């Protein structure tokens, strides 16, 4: 019977919180802000990492670029047949693509050329079918930008010689990976070559599919030896690059976290260093009227639990709404950049229980301990000594 929840103690704990309104509100606000900040950062990074890693996982195992004078240059398509002869290589595709700046919208579009009859290096391209030779499929973000500029059915691309290339919009590209497809325009390789003035025997880069992932490093070494001019990039290289970007930009949030955690631990230190004279007198009076030490500690536990758990839940709910409903304005830009050269996209909803548990154990148990320990010290003292 003694282990049952004492609702009278809970009622008293609530009244104790209400009696110290200003102090309780201050602690609750700081607690909520700390939980909100930590959870928001974790939600943003988890969503972006999921989207980026999913995008990288959908790419071929190896990408080959031609480097000339330290810069990326078009590569000769003649080496495609040579690469197919390397043991372990299952498919080789010469890609024709590039970035097209749309000045009126202030964004960069990613133009990708595919031929319907050839093997596609991405599963999302296998379902694409053009209505005509001069048509294209656009991403959802691209369509919104073009629609604002009154390009609902077609778009005029400006070629290097200043002339126009009219391409009709035959559909919107749908993909589970919005970060990948949002700024994408897919059309035939012939149209891409004309828009960017890429010769028939040249390509932007070459991608390779490998049957056995264990052989990637071996195949990469062979390619580097055979083609010294080439920059060979693997999936793992891209993942490491993304991780380095996140580690760098997470340092900006580290400063915000330190300020918040410092404020929180100042409150914890204030509570753990000793109770106020009013709180000590209250414990002394409770002991004088017959309360046991166990009852006092339970009441303090309920009091701290109400504040900490309420603040934790409120902070998580605010972070959830801020990130996934409002799309984390300002904070998201720290990771994706403030540049206008990227069409907007929606942060995917990724619910990570580890994040919630981590934030919980960084805050709630610490606050409970900082409340109960000094209360126990005072509760074990003699009544007359406490009241005096």
Based on the fold, state whether residues 257 and 298 are members of the same structural domain: yes
Of the residues 179, 203, 227, which one is the last residue of a structural domain?
Answer: 203
Based on the fold, state whether residues 196 and 80 are members of the same structural domain: yes
Based on the fold, state whether residues 102 and 43 are members of the same structural domain: no
- Transcribe 8-43 into DSSP letters: HHHHHHHHHHHHTHHHHHHHHHHHHHHHHHHHHHHH
Based on the fold, state whether residues 250 and 288 are members of the same structural domain: yes
CA distances from 360 to 88, 111, 179, 300 (A): 48, 45, 30, 19
Based on the fold, state whether residues 13 and 94 are members of the same structural domain: no
pLDDT at 245: 63
Any domain includes 178? yes
Identify the H or E element spanning 188: strand 184-188
Any domain includes 355? yes
Virtual torsion, Cα 3, 7, 10, 12, nearest 10 deg: -120
Q: Of the candidates 358, 385, 378, 345, which has an alpha carbon nearest to the alpha carbon of residue 48? A: 345
Any domain includes 332? yes
d(CA 74, CA 204): 5
Phi, psi angle pair for 172, to nearest 5°:
-105, 130
Based on the fold, state whether residues 276 and 347 are members of the same structural domain: yes
Based on the fold, state whether residues 36 and 129 are members of the same structural domain: no
The CB density around residue 291, as the number of other CB atoms within 10 Å, is: 17
Any domain includes 229? no
Per-residue pLDDT of the chain (388 residues; tens, 9 = 90+): 345 677 888 898 899 889 888 888 988 988 898 889 888 888 888 887 787 777 777 778 999 999 888 888 999 999 999 999 999 999 999 999 999 999 888 888 999 999 878 888 887 788 788 888 899 999 888 998 999 988 989 999 999 999 999 999 998 887 666 666 788 899 999 999 999 999 999 999 999 999 898 999 999 999 999 998 899 999 888 877 776 666 655 666 666 666 666 766 666 666 656 567 777 788 888 888 888 889 889 999 999 999 999 999 999 999 999 999 988 887 776 666 544 445 556 788 887 888 889 889 878 888 888 888 888 888 888 776 766 6
Range of the domain at 265: 7-55+241-387
Based on the fold, state whether residues 144 and 271 are members of the same structural domain: no
Based on the fold, state whether residues 297 and 249 are members of the same structural domain: yes
Any domain includes 68? no
Of the residues 175, 203, 231, which one is the last residue of a structural domain?
Answer: 203
Of the residues 183, 203, 223, which one is the last residue of a structural domain?
Answer: 203
Any domain includes 146? yes
Any domain includes 222? no
Any domain includes 233? no
pLDDT at 340: 46
Q: Of the candidates 48, 53, 338, 342, which has an alpha carbon nearest to the alpha carbon of residue 183? A: 342
What is the model's pTM?
0.71
Based on the fold, state whether residues 254 and 300 are members of the same structural domain: yes
Token reading at 121? 């290096």
Based on the fold, state whether residues 259 and 378 are members of the same structural domain: yes
Structurally, how many domains does the chain consist of?
2
d(CA 19, CA 302): 15
Based on the fold, state whether residues 270 and 351 are members of the same structural domain: yes
The CB density around residue 227, as the number of other CB atoms within 10 Å, is: 18
Distance between alpha carbon 46 and the CA centroid of its chain, in Å? Answer: 4
CB-count burial class (<10 Å; 0-12, 13-18, 19+) for 349: exposed
């Amino acid at each position: 019977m003694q282990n049952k929840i004492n609702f009278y103690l809970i009622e008293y704990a609530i009244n104790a919180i209400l009696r110290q309104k200003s102090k309780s509100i201050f602690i609750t606000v700081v607690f909520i802000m700390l939980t909100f900040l930590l959870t928001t950062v974790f939600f943003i990074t988890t969503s972006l990492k999921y989207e980026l890693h999913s995008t990288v996982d959908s790419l071929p195992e190896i990408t080959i670029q031609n480097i000339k004078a330290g810069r990326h240059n078009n590569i000769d398509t003649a080496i495609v047949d040579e690469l197919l002869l390397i043991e372990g290589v299952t498919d080789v595709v010469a890609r024709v693509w590039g970035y097209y700046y749309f000045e009126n919208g202030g964004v960069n579009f990613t133009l990708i050329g595919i031929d319907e009859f050839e093997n596609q290096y991405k599963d999302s391209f296998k379902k694409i079918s053009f209505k005509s030779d001069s048509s294209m499929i656009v991403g959802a973000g691209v369509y919104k930008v073009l629609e604002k500029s009154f390009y609902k059915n077609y778009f005029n691309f400006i070629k290097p010689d200043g002339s126009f290339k009219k391409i009709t919009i035959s559909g919107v590209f749908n993909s589970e990976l919005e970060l990948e497809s949002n700024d994408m325009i897919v059309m035939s390789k012939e149209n891409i070559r004309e828009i960017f003035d890429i010769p028939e025997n040249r390509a932007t880069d070459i991608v390779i599919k490998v049957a056995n992932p264990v052989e990637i490093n071996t195949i990469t070494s062979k390619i580097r030896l055979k083609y010294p001019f080439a920059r060979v990039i693997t999936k793992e290289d891209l993942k490491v690059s993304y991780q380095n970007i996140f580690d760098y930009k997470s340092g900006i949030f580290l400063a915000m976290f330190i300020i918040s955690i410092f404020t929180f631990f100042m409150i914890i230190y204030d509570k753990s260093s000793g109770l106020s004279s009013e709180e000590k007198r209250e414990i002394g009076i409770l002991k004088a009227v017959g309360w046991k030490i166990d009852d006092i500690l339970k009441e303090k536990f309920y009091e701290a639990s109400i504040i900490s758990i309420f603040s934790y839940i409120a902070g998580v709910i605010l972070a959830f709404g801020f990130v996934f409903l409002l799309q984390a304005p300002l904070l998201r830009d720290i990771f994706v950049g403030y540049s206008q050269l990227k069409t907007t996209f929606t942060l995917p909803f990724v619910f990570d229980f580890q994040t919630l548990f981590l934030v919980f154990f960084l805050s709630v148990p610490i606050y409970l301990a900082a409340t109960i320990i000094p209360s126990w010290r005072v509760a074990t003292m003699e009544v007359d000594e406490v009241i005096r």
